[in-house]
Amino acid sequence: MDSLTLDQIQILLTVVDEGSFSKAAKKLNRAQSAVTYGIQKLEAQIDIPLFDRSAYRPALTEAGRTLLLRARRIAEETNAFRDAARSLASGLEAELTIVLDSMFPMPPVVEALRAFTDRFPTVPPRVYVQPLGAAAELVLEGTCMIGLLPLIFSDIAQFKRFPLLTVDLVPVVSPGHPLAKLDGPIDTHVLHEYVQLVLTDRSALTAGRDYGVLSGRTWRLADLGAKQSMLVAGLGWGNMPAHMVEADIAQGRLKVIQPVDFDPRTAQLVMCGAYLADHRLGPAGQWMIEHLSESFAPPPPGAPPGFVERPAAPKKRNDRPKRKSPGRKARGRAKR
């Protein structure tokens, strides 16, 4: 079989879409005989008739209908290849890699990705979700361009940062758990008797560190969703992002408890965006940085120094205050 060409695929699709050889010829700006010859040559190459010509209008044979699906896929992949090549030639990244901390709320990320896809349809995103220091490590090692991380894991000299939002942590337990029956503050020596479910990872940034651990008995989990399921099942108590357990609390699947040594002020995680200071982002990455910066509220109170300022919106010429021309008296005084 001789090599097929993209031109033959285009002729086949145009004949099908236009409904006749004559209309396809007009669409392709070719002679009808050239279109007819192109289809005949294609049929001869594959040794299968694609059209039934017994009727007034040519109709696809059963084999033609089957091969039409593959022909459309070839055309779509060819167009995608061409678009991707043009994007790369213009300096666009091959893909956008982002990692977010497992406690970062997903809705704003979804909205950002939707806007990103509309703006850069040829740049596919690759999104990672990691707990604790593992997310920061993916940015440090260059696997991900952008990280959405807690401040405590992004306070690294190699990073440029910009503030995004604050996540509140709440200590919760299943209503059937013994701790749920204790009203008011709970002493730490009481918590020591029960299992605390604690988020963990394998990152060197968090090796040997504990955050918010008050119990002597702990179960370590590397997945926040698994921790949530175990809390609902009554396997222990633990701290969770408020936005993740809001529905569980409202519907009675979890109950907020009050450990004496739980300080709500330190249970607020300042989340920020981060990227390598010595790495030049491409157009897609830079757009995402600016979009995220502009999408969130101003920096949370108490945010430490060192944040990168959000880019200010350019002033329109019409927004500039107009100068009032000095009156006659003012001009007279100026001369004196």
3-state helix, strand, coil in the chain (%, to 5): 45, 20, 40
Domains of the chain: 6-89 (1.10.10.10), 96-165+269-295 (3.40.190.10), 168-267 (3.40.190.290)
Q: What is the pLDDT of residues 146-162, one digit of tens each?
A: 999 988 877 777 888 88
Q: What is the pLDDT of residues 19-62, one digit of tens each?
A: 888 888 888 899 988 888 888 888 888 888 988 887 777 888 88
Average pLDDT over residues 307-335: 42
Backbone angles phi, psi at 146, to 5 degrees: -130, 140
136 Cβ contact list (under 8 Å, min separation 6): 147, 149, 153, 154, 156, 203, 205, 274
- More confident site: 310 or 87: 87
Contact 272, 154 (CB under 8 A): yes
Give the residue from 320, 317, 314 showing the smallest Cα distance to 290: 314
- Burial class from Cβ neighbours inside 10 Å (0-12, 13-18, 19+) for residue 13 reads middle
Q: What is the pLDDT of residues 115-129, one digit of tens each?
A: 999 988 888 899 999
Q: What is the pLDDT of residues 251-292, one digit of tens each?
A: 999 999 999 888 776 688 889 999 988 878 888 888 998 898
Global confidence as pTM? 0.62
